[in-house]
Amino acid sequence: MQTLETLSFDNSYTRLPEGFFQRVRPTPFPNPHLVSVNPAAAELIHLDPNEAKRPEFAEYFCGAKLFPGSDPLATLYSGHQFGHYVPQLGDGRAILLGEVRTDEGETWELQLKGAGLTRFSRDGDGRAILRSTIREYLCGEAMHALGISTTRSLCIVSGEEIVWRETPEPGAMLLRMAPSHVRFGTFEVFFYRGQHENLKILADYVIQHHYPHLVDVENRYARLLHEVAVRTGEMIAQWQAVGWSHGVMNTDNMSILGLTIDYGPYGFMEAFHPGFVCNHSDHRGRYSFQHQPDIGYWNIRALAKAMSPLIEQAEIQAAPELYEKTMLEKYAGLMQEKLGLIETHTGDDKLVTDLLNLMDSSRTDYTNLFRSLSKFQQESPNGNSTIRDQFLHREAFDDWTARYRDRLQAEKSRDRERQIRMNQSNPKYILRNHLAQKAIEQATRHKDYAEIDRLLNLLNDPFTEQPGMEAYAIPQDSDSSPIIVSCSS
C-alpha cells in the first residue's frame, strides 16, 4: 500500500504541446478538513486508507501540498452547449494533479474539482460548493456500483471559505479519478481552430494511452471514432435502463472513453415520465430523459465532424449509425434482463413499451416497480396485488400481466430463479434527490458528514436488501416541495 508521499506520479499530458493546457497550481482552502473518503477508490491507486487519518491528507487533496512528482495543469477544450458551439471552455475550476500509475500498469488521473481559478475560468470563481461536491461524490460511486462506466470519487475536502452561488455556501473540493478526462470538446477545439496537426497529436495521444490495441491498426483514427461510438451507445443505454438523466449532455461533458462524467443537475427518476427534465435550467427539455439517446447520436456526429480531417467520409458517416445500433441493442438486452427474460422473442420490445406506457400514465416509481416485478407469481394472480396496486389503470395492467405470464411460460421460466436474476438487474437503492439533499443539509448546516458515508456504503451495494435501510428505498413524499437542481448544483 502507498502513502501520500510514495504515490507514483506521471504527467503524460504535459508532454503534449503547451497549447493543450495551462500549468497552474491549485488554490488551497484555509484550514482544510476532510469531509469524506472512499476506501474503494483509494484501493484503485493502492493508497492506504489509514492515510486519511493524517492531517496532511486534507492538505494534499486541497492543493496546500503537492504530491511528489505531480505537475498540475488545466486542460483546454471547447464544446457545444445546448446545441450552440462555444469556442473555448476548458478546466475553469478543475486542475489535473497528474496520473498515478499502479504496479499492474493501470493509470488513474487525479483531478481536483473546485481547485481555484485557471485561465479557462471565464467569469467563474474556480470554486465548487459543498452541495454540488457531495452530489457528484455520491453519484459517481452509485453509478459504478450499478455497473455503469463513470469517473470515480476519492474524497471531499472543505475548508474555511464561503463561495457565492445563488446564496453563500461552504466551498469544497472533490478529488475525482478517471483513466482520462479528455472530452469530445477537446477534439472540437482543434478542429474549429483549424489546428489539424494538434488534432492528430491528440488522437495519437488518446490511442497510445487509452486504446493501445489501435496503435498499429490501419485506419486507426476511424477505429477510434467507432469504438467511442460503441462505448457511448452502451453507456447511454445503461442510463436509460436505470432511469437516470444526466441533465447537461453538452459535448464538453462527453468522455472520449465512454465514461459518465461531470455530475451536475442529474437525477434518477422516481415517478416514471419520459419527458422527465432534471435540470431546472433546461427550459426547452433538450436533455430530457427521452431525448438522451438522440442527443448521444447528435454528440457522436459532432465528434465525427471534429475528427473528419483524419478520417474518410464513409467512416465518418458510419459512426452515428454504429452508435445507434449499439445503443438500441444494448438497451433491448438490459430491458430483457429487467423483466427476467432469458430468450429473445418477437414482440419483446412491445411488451417493454406497453409496460412503460402504463407506468407513465400512473406515474409509477420506476425503480420500485421493476424491483417488485421480480416477485411476480405466474400461478397465483392474487399474489401479485402489491404490484397491481402501483397502477391507476389496473385492468390494463391485468391485460399486460396476462401477456407477461404467457411470455414467461413460453421459455419455461421458474419464478424463484427469475427473481434471483431480476434482483441482480433491478436495484433496490438509487441516489434519490431527497436522500442526497438530507446528506447535504446535515453537512452544510451542522458539519455532520455521517449521512454522506452512510449513503456511500448503501449505494456501493444497491442490489442487496440491507437491514434497517428500507426508508432509503421510498420515493420523496408527494406532499414535499420538489428539489430544484440546476447547472450550478
The catalytic site residues sit at 252
d(CA 359, CA 366): 8
Nearest to 34 by CA among 58, 53, 50: 58
Cβ atoms of 475 and 270 closer than 8 Å: yes
DSSP state for residue 105 in the 8-state scheme = S
Which residue type, as a one-letter code, is found at position 85? Y
Residue showing cell 486534507: 58
d(CA 139, CA 436): 9
Strand residue runs (E) in 223-306: 244-245, 267-268
How many other CB atoms are there within 10 angstroms of residue 109's CB atom? 21
Cβ atoms of 346 and 410 closer than 8 Å: no
Nearest to 261 by CA among 199, 182, 324: 182
CA atoms within 13 A on the CB side of 246: 26
Residue showing cell 486504446: 211
| Helix/strand/coil (H/E/C) assignment for every residue in 388-436 | HCCCCCHHHHHHHHHHHHHHHHHCCCCHHHHHHHHHCCCCCCCCCHHHH
Residues 6+ apart with CB under 8 A from 283: none
Number of H helices, E strands in the chain: 15, 13
d(CA 54, CA 49): 10
Cβ atoms of 144 and 81 closer than 8 Å: no
Nearest to 172 by CA among 449, 424, 413, 454: 449
Cβ atoms of 394 and 388 closer than 8 Å: yes
